[in-house]
Amino acid sequence: MREIQFREALREAMSEEMRRDERIFLMGEEVAEYNGAYKVSQGMLDEFGPQRVIDTPIAELGFAGIGVGAAMNGLRPIIEFMTFNFSLVAIDQIINGAAKIMSMSGGQYSAPVVFRGPTGNAGMLSSQHSQNFENWYANTAGLKVVVASNPYNAKGLLKSAIRDDDPVIFMESELMYGDKGEVPEEEYLIPIGKAEVVKQGTDVTLVSFGKMMKVALQAAAEAEKNGIAAEVIDLMSVRPIDYATVVNSVKKTNRLVIVEEAWPLAAISTEVTFHVQRHAFDYLDAPIHRVNSMDVPLPYAPTLIEAVLPNVKRTLQAIQAVTYK
């Protein structure tokens, strides 16, 4: 099977869907003439023209609102934020507009729009450009929230998001756009709301999503050297969450560690922890451990970034704490 970059997988997903359905268009800062801030949309202006690949001013509130209105009137927009940190400028359109229009109109309108772009730490970008908002948007009824972890999942999930009749928040990582992975040439879709067991194990369940899957898998490999067989689960979507896959895994391994880049308060890891203790309490042989970012704004200095973010060492310590090894 061929290997392509994460950015190429996203581009293929958008291009294939735009060829399939002329109602789909891409809008955002630098998506057209500049070929995308991270070259995700490279070549799309040449193929689809300026009516369907649209550069915008630096005005997230405005072009997010245009996207919601277009979706309500029969189009299927893909709205790119250069980073989800900038989506805060447009959050009213997303939460009070897109997420609620189906309910508030009694089903007369829907908003089939995808808001996509990078989330989380991307290196030395400091506090205002390094935040995770997956849990913020996942707390909003009416939205679906997807966080892809590799090129294969990115393509299949984005195609499903574009076809979905609900508004979807699709989150990526600037640090993963160059990652390569196997992606088939034939068409495929990955359903939103279904987690994947990416590694079988018997001693502890390790749950993560997005680029933190790299940390989880590296920690699982290191744990195996110490005789600990970790089962690793990629949530892929954090609204809806596939609780059943996690609970069934915990019933087998009797232990749970969750790795998430976001701050600990009201995080996705908090929600998963509650659900597992509610539905698998009698199966737990140790308290659930979470590995989140430290509860501070992300610093600029690389040494401090390393200290704040989840990493393999902290994850291994959590695994050892619940397995008593």
CB 42 within 8 A of CB 9: no
Residues 267 and 171 in one domain: no
The proportion of the chain whose per-residue pLDDT surpasses 70, expressed as a percent, equals 100
Instruction: State residue 227's pLDDT score.
Output: 96
Note whether residue 299 is domain-resident.
yes
Rounded CA-CA distance 291/4 in Å is 30
Instruction: State residue 146's pLDDT score.
Output: 98
Q: What is the pTM of this model?
A: 0.96
Could you list the active site residues? 60, 129
Note whether residue 190 is domain-resident.
no
Note whether residue 189 is domain-resident.
no
Which residues constitute the domain of residue 259?
196-323
Residues 155 and 211 in one domain: no
CB 229 within 8 A of CB 221: no
Rounded CA-CA distance 75/64 in Å is 14
Could you read off the pLDDT of 207-228 as tens digits, one per residue? 999 999 999 999 999 999 999 9
How many Cβ atoms sit within 10 Å of the Cβ of residue 233?
Answer: 28
Name the stretches of the chain with pLDDT < 70: none
Note whether residue 23 is domain-resident.
yes
Kind plus residue range of the DSSP H or E element containing 46: helix 44-48
Q: At what angle do helices 243-253 and 268-280 cross, to 10 degrees?
A: 60
Query: What is the number of domains present in the chain?
Result: 2
Rounded CA-CA distance 260/28 in Å is 28
Residues 244 and 308 in one domain: yes
Residues 48 and 17 in one domain: yes
Could you read off the pLDDT of 53-105 as tens digits, one per residue? 999 999 999 999 999 999 999 999 999 999 999 999 999 999 999 999 999 99
Q: How far is CA 133 from CA 15, 108, 140, in A?
A: 27, 29, 12
Residues 258 and 167 in one domain: no
Rounded CA-CA distance 31/18 in Å is 15
Q: Which of 182, 214, 235 is the last residue of a domain?
A: 182
Supply 118's token pair: 């990078």
Residues 215 and 143 in one domain: no
Closest Cα to residue 170, out of 41, 56, 80, 252? 80
Residues 275 and 300 in one domain: yes
Rounded CA-CA distance 173/315 in Å is 20
Q: Which of 131, 155, 182 is the last residue of a domain?
A: 182
Residues 251 and 122 in one domain: no
Phi, psi torsion values for 320, nearest 5 degrees: -65, -35
